[in-house]
């Protein structure tokens, strides 16, 4: 298992180097999908970080806290936001390959498009059960449900 910080920095580097735009909203959703698909393909989480069912979709509280003082939801995330001591070698080859596969599918979407996608998917919807669309919610999204839901999507 790796840290959410290392995965975050790798995602930032990869998306920007690929020439795609990246804001805080999009970063959060990409991290969520990286975790979700790792649960499916590896039968284990990539990071020991739970995603919460916030108003704008799944959010890692740790990553949110990292950027909270300097970035809003729609602020650009730039290569300068990568920690200076980060190296891609912090992740294994198979972890980087997994992240790259997920990014090849999801990085082309905007943060708003990814938000809309997660809002139609059972893991986020069920975690927010009983909450109004505008209400704060810090319920963790169930990783077993994530694995089950995305496994079924893979088979479809």
Give pLDDT tens digits along the chain (156 positions).
789 999 999 999 999 999 999 999 999 999 999 999 999 999 999 999 999 999 999 999 999 999 999 998 899 999 999 999 999 999 999 999 999 999 999 999 999 999 999 999 999 999 999 898 899 999 999 999 999 999 999 887
Query: Shortest CA distance to 147 belongs to which of 46, 4, 11, 3?
Result: 46
Structure tokens given for 18: 């690929």
Measured in degrees and rounded to the nearest 5, phi and psi for residue 2 equal -120, 175
pTM of the entire predicted model: 0.96
Strands (E), the chain: 51-54, 57-60
- The answer for residues whose C-beta is within 8 angstroms of residue 53's C-beta and 6 or more apart is 124, 127, 128, 131, 137, 138, 139, 140, 141
Cα separation values, 71 from 24, 25, 63, 75, 120, Å: 7, 10, 11, 5, 26
pLDDT, position 25: 97
Measured in degrees and rounded to the nearest 5, phi and psi for residue 13 equal -60, -45
């Amino acid at each position: 298992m790796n840290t959410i910080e290392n995965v975050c920095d790798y995602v930032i580097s990869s998306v920007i180097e690929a020439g795609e735009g990246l804001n805080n909203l999009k970063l959060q959703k990409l991290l969520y999908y990286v975790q979700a698909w790792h649960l499916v393909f590896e039968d284990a989480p990539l990071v020991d970080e739970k995603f919460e069912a916030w108003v704008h979709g799944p959010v890692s509280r740790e990553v949110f806290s990292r950027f909270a003082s300097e970035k809003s939801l729609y602020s650009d995330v730039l290569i300068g936001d990568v920690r200076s001591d980060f190296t891609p070698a912090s992740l294994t080859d198979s972890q980087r390959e997994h992240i790259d596969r997920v990014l090849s599918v999801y990085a082309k979407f905007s943060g708003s498009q990814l938000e809309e996608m997660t809002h139609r998917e059972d893991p986020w919807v069920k975690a927010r059960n009983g909450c109004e669309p505008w209400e704060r919610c810090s319920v963790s999204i169930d990783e077993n449900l994530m694995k089950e839901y995305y496994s079924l999507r893979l088979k479809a």
